[in-house]
Structure 1
Amino acid sequence: MYEFNIQNMTCGHCAGTVEKAIKAADPTAQAKVDLPTRTAKVETALDPATIAAALESAGYPNTFTSL
């Protein structure tokens, strides 16, 4: 599992866009997006850099760590 700290996520619409970007990169990913902390916890078989790139492409700069 990885935790992504997501910049520019300021509203519910943003959180939905973040979740869609994660699911577009990995349809089988389990994602929990938390707007107040601007984080997303993601369980994925993909390299986390792939998810990070998808978020970046959607307009959300981010950093990630392993949990």
Structure 2
Amino acid sequence: MTENITIKIQGMTCDHCKAAVEQALNEIDGVHSAEVNLKNGTATVTYDANKVDIDHFTESIDEAGYEFVGQV
């Protein structure tokens, strides 16, 4: 089942940050796409809810060096 979620991320300040978060999220098995809005500090993720959940996003963002704030 494909779902979309928008999440708030803290600590992103530049295009490198945007690319790092997008790459981290897109590498998760079950994520179809992830797009970061640097201005809003958010990421919109399209994913397979049968394979991945919000805990995977939190872990991936934290490992990339940024802070998962919550769902928008």
Counterpart in the other structure of 2:22: 19
TM-score (norm 2): 0.80
Question: Across the two proteins, how many residue pairs are aligned to each other?
Answer: 66
Equivalent residue, structure 2, for 1:52: 58
Larger Rg over CA atoms: 2
Percent identity over the alignment is: 32
- Gaps in structure 1 of 5+ consecutive residues: none
Q: Return the structure number with greater helix share.
A: 1
Higher strand fraction: Structure 1 or Structure 2?
2
- Quick check: 2:32–2:47 contact (8 Å CA) kept in 1? yes
Q: Superposition RMSD on alpha carbons, in Å?
A: 1.6
User: How far apart are residue 31 of structure 1 and its match?
Assistant: 1.3
Q: Which runs of 5+ in 2 are unaligned?
A: none
Moved beyond 6 Å, runs of 4+: none
Distance 1:53 1:33 in 2: 17
